[in-house]
Structure 1
Amino acid sequence: MADTDRDWRKWAETDPYYSVAAAPEFRRDRVDIDAFLYTGEAYIVQRLAMLEQQLGVIARRRALDFGCGVGRIALPMAMLFGEVVGLDVAPAMLAEAERLKQRQDAGNARFALSDDALSAADGHYDFVHSYIVFQHVPVARGLPLIGLLLDRVAVGGIASIHVALRRGDTPWRAAFYKARTRIPGFQKLVHWLRGKPSDEPMMQMNEYPVSAIFAMMQQRGFGQAIVDMERHGRFLTMHIAARRNGMQEQDG
């Protein structure tokens, strides 16, 4: 089975911007950092405006961005919130985020190494966010992490979690995908045949059961969720957002 943390750390060391936003113009040897950060700014401004239109005003004290990468979204968020915490499993991503933080003079942003207990995410947050992250995390690991993120939402706060629903695979493509993730050495062979570096990691696309996420939200006192679909190539994904009204399973 592919090790997604190891793969993500490899991406961070070799091509961090492309791995966050997989467009040719963001390859490491040609990336325009201002253009890259603008994509994150445009996204989060639109996302917050849509959420506030449908769910009401979001307090702007503290925000958490899970899977922050180099800070594409967390750094623009720092212009909109009093404090932003970005979590990622790749030290090289965090080092680059810190460099961009100095470049952007975003002193209210803090970047920290993520673990499966979210131990670096102290307290509660008015806005807990993750985008284009969980699709790369195996479901058995990702669902408990989503539960912990929901626990970090303050009463009155908003969670906005993005997951993949369907890969849109034919039976042959599904079998090919399984082989790439489970057969040792097969992925390197595929890259070699395609003329890519043999050690370039694979980006997994894991399908999430949204009913399980809705159940976790209900258990933790979230109100009615709003959802919107988004296509990434052949992949169907979904944003799930809701306001937390109660404290049922909120930890300290």
Structure 2
Amino acid sequence: MIDTDRDWRIWGETDPYYGVVSAPQFRREQVDLDAFFQTGDAYIQERLGRLERQLGTLPRRRALDFGCGVGRVALPLAGLFDEVVGLDVAPGMLKEAERLRLERGIGNAHFRQSDDRLSTAVGEFDFVHSYIVFQHIAVERGLPLIGRLLDHVAIGGMASIHVAIRRGDTPVRAAFYRARTHIPGLQRLVHRLRGKKPSEPMMQMNEYPVSAIFAMMHLRGFGQALVDVERHGRFLTMHIAARRISPTEILP
């Protein structure tokens, strides 16, 4: 099975912008930083606007961006919240995010190394966010992480979690995908045949059971969920957002 932490560390060191948004114009050697960050700014302005229209005004004290990469969303968030914390597993991504933060003179954003316990996410947040991240994390690892993120949402705050829910593979494509993730050396051969660098990591795509996420939200006192379906190529994905309205409750 591929090691996604290792793969994202490689992306962070070799091609961090493409690792965040897999579009040719964001390859490291040709990336237009203004265009790159405009995508993050436009996304988060639209996302927060929709959440507040549907779920009510959001406190703007602290925000947490899980899987922040080079800060595409976290840095724009810093103009909207008093404090922003970005978490990522890849040191190269965090180094680049910190460089960009200093370059732009942003003093209220902090970038920290992530782990499965979220040990560097201290305290509660009014907005806990993740976008185009969990699809690259195995479900058995990702679901507990989502639960821990939800634990960090303050009463009255919101969570917005994005997951893939359907790969859209034919049976042959699905079998080929499984082979690429389990047979050593096959992925390097595939990249070589496709004209890519053999060492370039594979971006794993995992389908999440949304009922499990709804159940975790319910147990933690979140209200009615706002669901938005989004297609990324052949992959069907979903934004799940809700406001935390009561203290944590564990049902018998």
What is the 5 A alignment of 1:73-222? 73-222=73-222
- Taking the aligned partners of 2:170 and 2:85, their CA distance within structure 1 comes to 39
Amino acid at match of 2:54: Q
CA drift of 1:60 comes to 0.3
- In structure 1, distance between residues paired with 2:185 and 2:20: 25
Q: For the aligned residues, what is the CA RMSD?
A: 0.8
How many angstroms apart in 2 are the aligned matches of 1:249 and 1:32? 47
Shift of 1:103: 1.6
Distance 1:217 1:226 in 2: 12
What is the one-letter code of the residue matched to 2:192?
W
Write the distance in 2 (CA, Å) between the matches of 1:31 and 1:153: 34
For residues 120 and 170 of structure 2, the distance between their equivalents in structure 1, rounded to whole angstroms, comes to 40
Match of 1:21 in 2: 21
- In the TM superposition, what is the alpha-carbon distance from 1:104 to its structure 2 partner? 1.7
Give the whole-Å Cα distance in 2 for the aligned partners of 1:113 and 1:202.
22
Following superposition, the deviation at residue 249 of structure 1 comes to 5.2
Read off the aligned partner of 1:169 and give its amino acid letter.
D
**CA positional deviation for 1:106:** 1.1
What is the alpha-carbon distance in structure 2 between the residues aligned to residue 192 and residue 77 of structure 1? 39
The 2-side partners of 1:22 and 1:195 are apart by: 16
Counterpart of 2:227 in 1: which secondary structure?
strand
SS of 2:164's partner is: strand
Q: How does 1:34-73 map to 2 (within 5 A)?
A: 34-73=34-73
- Structure 1 consecutive aligned stretches of length 4 or more whose deviation exceeds 3 Å: none
Helix, strand or coil at the partner of 1:64: strand
Query: 1:226 corresponds to which residue?
Result: 226
Q: Find the aligned partners of 1:105 and 1:249 in 2 and give their Cα distance.
A: 41
Measure the CA separation in 2 of the matches of 1:92 and 1:249. 38
In structure 2, distance between residues paired with 1:121 and 1:249: 22
CA distance in 1, matches of 2:20, 2:50: 23
Question: Per-residue deviation at 1:150?
Answer: 0.1
Equivalent-residue separation in structure 1 for 2:25 and 2:126 (angstroms): 34
Contact 1:151 1:249 in 2 (8 A): no
Determine the C-alpha separation between the residues in 2 that align with 1:249 and 1:150.
Answer: 13
Secondary structure at 2:135 match in 1: helix
Counterpart code for 2:24: P
* CA–CA separation in structure 2 for the residues paired with 1:129 and 1:105: 23
For normalisation by structure 2, the TM-score amounts to 0.98
Secondary structure of the residue aligned to 1:118 is coil
Note if contact 1:78-1:108 (Cα within 8 Å) is conserved in structure 2.
yes
Output the CA distance in 2 between the equivalents of 1:19 and 1:114: 17
Q: Which amino acid aligns with 1:191?
A: H
Task: Give unmatched runs, 5+ long, in structure 1.
Answer: none
Instruction: Give the C-alpha shift of residue 194 in structure 1.
Output: 1.1
Q: Which amino acid aligns with 2:4?
A: T
Name the SS of the counterpart of 2:57 in structure 1: coil
Cα deviation digits, residues 20-61 of structure 1 (max 9, x gap): 011111000000111101100000000000000000000000
Assess if the C-alpha contact under 8 Å between 1:164 and 1:207 holds in 2. yes
Counterpart of 1:45 in structure 2: which amino acid?
Q
Cα distance in 2 for residues equivalent to 1:107 and 1:149: 24
Supply the AA of the counterpart residue of 2:48.
Answer: L
